[in-house]
Amino acid sequence: QSFINFLYRKFGRVFIVMPYYEGTTLCERTRLDSLKPEEALDIAIQIADGLRAAHKKGIVHCDVTTKNILVLQGRSDSAGCVKIIDFGLAATGGFDELETIGSTGGTIPYMSPEQVRGECLDPRTDIWSLGVILYEMLTGRLPFHYEHREATLYAILNLSQPNVHSLVREIPVQLSQIIEQCLQKEPGDRYQDAETLLTDLRRER
C-alpha cells in the first residue's frame, strides 16, 4: 500500500504492471495434431500443479480451456513451461459460496455439468475442464462438441464420451482411466482435489 501511495504522489496516477509471456496457446499447439502422451502428460501435470496452487488460495478458475493455457519456450524438455492465464471469470471465497455466473460464463465445450446447470462451483469444476483438455491433447478432438450449442450442453449433461484408449490405442489404459475419472458427471465421483489428480498424473509419467 505504501508503494502504491508513493507512485501516486510521484506520478499522479496508479497503474498496474503485468508480466509479458512469449509463447503460444495450447489451442494453437494442438490445432494441427494431437500430442504425444509424454508431452500431454507433462502439460497436464503443470496445469494441475497451477490449479492446486490457485485452489489452495480459494480461487476456482471456471474457464480452464486450451485458449487459456500458454506454453512458453525455453525449457529443455519438449513441452515447455505452462502458464494458466485469464482468470477473468474466476470465483473466489469459501467454496461453498461460489456460484457460476450462468451458462454464458465459461467456454461451453469445457464446462462441467454443474456449471451448465448453474449450480455452486468448487475446484472439481476445474478438474473436469482439465480432463477435457487432456482428452483433447491426446485425441485431437473434444469429448463433447456439436454444431449447435444446445446439443453440446445436452451431451455434457447426459452422454458419455468415447473412451480415449478406444480412439487411440497407443494411449495407456491407466491414463485413459485418469481422464474417465476427471469427466465423471457427478462431482463426487471425480478427483476431489487437484493434489490427488497430480499424484496420479505423476505416477503415470
Q: Is 22 helix (H, G, I), strand (E, B) or coil?
A: coil
- The Cα–Cα gap between 71 and 64 comes to 14
CA distances for 155 relative to 139, 158, 182, angstroms: 18, 5, 16
| 63 labelled catalytic | yes
Q: 179 is written with which cell numbers?
A: 481422464
- The Cα–Cα gap between 166 and 169 comes to 6
Could you tell me if 134 and 82 are in contact, meaning their C-beta atoms sit under 8 angstroms apart?
no
Determine the residue type at 25: T
- The Cα–Cα gap between 108 and 110 comes to 5
- The Cα–Cα gap between 121 and 123 comes to 7
Number of Cβ atoms within 10 Å of the Cβ of 18: 5
- The Cα–Cα gap between 136 and 143 comes to 7
Determine the residue type at 169: R
The closest alpha carbon to 116, from 132, 133, 102, belongs to: 102
Catalytic residue among 63, 122, 126, 193: 63
Give the catalytic positions in this structure: 63
